[in-house]
Structure 1
């Protein structure tokens, strides 16, 4: 709680948000295709299996990609104030971890925007009205998207990609700028985990979106992939920020990225950052009995499994770790959000939303690119 109070105090002493960016200028974009930037980084990665470390690989941006990806990063800024400045710091790390791999299947676009900062989240938790700050962030994303359509994508199909605050902003963008408009025909897919999408229980449309359905099969176009992650045997408590709908009759949508339309357990294709300093329940992860990871990322296939759970107002992707006696890979994964030595129960495995199924998400983009 002391950290939360400190963030709120920081926000109270904030300076006004900087002037709006001009997205006609390449400098206001964190990632652009064909440029040496965060999304063209190689991301050295090692396969981690039950037998230990395997082959090494790197990300190679696609040549001749048939589809574009427009990414909005999550809440990462530690800037003073309720809205961030336009100098990319923590934002680069988020884009590298969450989005750079998408450059292997699509042309990457990621605007720098005046996002709501960590201080704003702390202030909101203590009752401050941050709607004006959300409007500032959304205004930037809307401007960037309009420039993307008008001058950069030029009629190509696109995929929206976000997480957390990024997914929240993209929800509004879909509702206001895409649904019911000709551009809806260009949206091949929206991948927006980490923020509640509401639907009537048993339905695939309605609630958050009027006409954009949940994806129920691989290769389906014009639909939404969404989920919030919780560790098995630890479901969202009533009133949780993520995974619990605010009213009876509605539920939080879940689409399992490894098996769209399924409610069964499915192995997940994961890409984990190995050098993160974020707290993990049980302490730092020992990735393998064979020693420390040789690269900043490891890929695991089947270490984690997921299934969608719909239980009244609850809706979430349940995550379990598949422990195999004698295996050389870890029996633990992280993802919970820790503040002041405590993990927030209503946020679930929020930090694992993207890495736990990143390989599966990449295949979904490939499927709508054909």
Structure 2
């Protein structure tokens, strides 16, 4: 009798624990419902935006390529390890990330950007088993969204995978699970896991890009102010990929600001061309500005430009995504 009693107690406790987890993390996303997607190509939404003065138009209606974008961490305060999708404040910030980071790709592809129960910032700053579990939960949503996308929308089309910070970490996992040495790899135009430390040899069959038109590769960088030397350069980023998003090469040569296609402020006011000189140094991307930078509108703290990894190179990414797409389509006779 006692074993049955203990079993019932255990099952009851498991039920409460599971219910508590679901309540804490909010609703589990159902990707059949459009409300769990921040951007979809067949509706008018924030993924269609382009900044004033942008010389490369939005082209989702005619695009032959898809873009699957994963937004970064915007869940910075609060108790639970994962954000609830009922949190309107977090949802609003996630949408702003799509506006600033996914729209560089709407000139070359149809943009798909899922909502997901992102891990709290403390999953990175504090780490530990709880942090890993939070990141695993976040990735489980991304995986579910990507599988839904593959089943219902991809239809064999070429695809670009892009993400920033936490989104880049999930991009890294998607590439390993779905692309690296898998049949789907032949559909990979390129991957842009930006603002995260990814080892050069992290993938068996997906190399680091070293030219503006290389396909089937990945490009990544982490931006700091010129001359910045931190312990991270020798620990966290040692051996990690860093591609200059102006030259699209891994070479350490200085690239003059005249080559810079343009950054876009977070408020989408205009395109700032020839804004910065760039250089790869110790697996970090150094930037030096040709004129005073509006720190508020480019969101940076001191010498760390992590938050602006994409915005500083908005037009460079936009042009490059089109160039890589055209190279892929030509190479594959599409």
TM-score (normalizing by structure 1): 0.73
Q: Which secondary structure state, in structure 2, belongs to the residue aligned with residue 213 of structure 1?
A: coil
Match of 1:209 in 2: 203
Sort the Cα spacing of 1:361 and 1:44 in 2 relative to 1 into closer, same or farther, 3 A.
closer
The 8 Å contact of residues 254 and 279 in structure 2, kept in 1 or not, is answered as: yes
Q: Matched residues in 1 for 2:269 and 2:111: separation?
A: 20
Q: Is 1:74 equivalent to 2:72 in the alignment?
A: yes
The 8 Å contact of residues 86 and 113 in structure 1, kept in 2 or not, is answered as: yes
Deviation at 1:224, TM superposition (A): 0.5
Q: Which secondary structure state, in structure 2, belongs to the residue aligned with residue 141 of structure 1?
A: helix
Matching of residues 42-57 of structure 1 within 5 Å: 43-46=50-53
Match of 2:169 in 1: 168
Matching of residues 12-23 of structure 1 within 5 Å: 16-23=24-31
Match of 1:158 in 2: 159
Q: Is 1:272 equivalent to 2:264 in the alignment?
A: yes
Match of 2:276 in 1: 304
Match of 2:107 in 1: 104
How many residues align? The count is: 296
TM-score (normalizing by structure 2): 0.80
Deviation at 1:122, TM superposition (A): 5.3
Q: Runs of 4 or more off by more than 3 Å in structure 1?
A: 56-62, 118-124, 243-247, 330-338
Deviation at 1:228, TM superposition (A): 0.4
Q: Is 1:234 equivalent to 2:228 in the alignment?
A: yes
Deviation at 1:140, TM superposition (A): 0.8
Deviation at 1:120, TM superposition (A): 4.4
Deviation at 1:305, TM superposition (A): 1.8
Deviation at 1:18, TM superposition (A): 2.6
The 8 Å contact of residues 51 and 271 in structure 2, kept in 1 or not, is answered as: no
Sort the Cα spacing of 1:79 and 1:231 in 2 relative to 1 into closer, same or farther, 3 A.
closer
Q: Which secondary structure state, in structure 1, belongs to the residue aligned with residue 285 of structure 2?
A: strand
Sort the Cα spacing of 1:337 and 1:300 in 2 relative to 1 into closer, same or farther, 3 A.
closer
Deviation at 1:176, TM superposition (A): 1.8
The 8 Å contact of residues 27 and 85 in structure 2, kept in 1 or not, is answered as: no
Q: Is 1:179 equivalent to 2:180 in the alignment?
A: yes
Sort the Cα spacing of 1:58 and 1:302 in 2 relative to 1 into closer, same or farther, 3 A.
closer
Structure 1 residues 148-189: Cα deviation after superposition (integer angstroms, max 9, x where no partner): 111111110010111000001111111122111100111110
Alignment equivalent of 1:361, drawn from 309, 317, 329? 317
Deviation at 1:108, TM superposition (A): 0.4
Q: Matched residues in 2 for 1:222 and 1:185: separation?
A: 8
Match of 2:246 in 1: 258
Match of 1:91 in 2: 94
* Structure that is richer in strand per residue: 1
Sort the Cα spacing of 1:336 and 1:189 in 2 relative to 1 into closer, same or farther, 3 A.
same
Q: Matched residues in 1 for 2:106 and 2:175: separation?
A: 22
The 8 Å contact of residues 74 and 163 in structure 1, kept in 2 or not, is answered as: yes
Deviation at 1:123, TM superposition (A): 4.6
The 8 Å contact of residues 206 and 217 in structure 2, kept in 1 or not, is answered as: yes
Alignment equivalent of 2:42, drawn from 19, 34, 52? 34
> Greater RCO between the two (CA within 8 Å, min separation 6)?
1
Deviation at 1:333, TM superposition (A): 5.1
Q: Matched residues in 1 for 2:228 and 2:121: separation?
A: 25
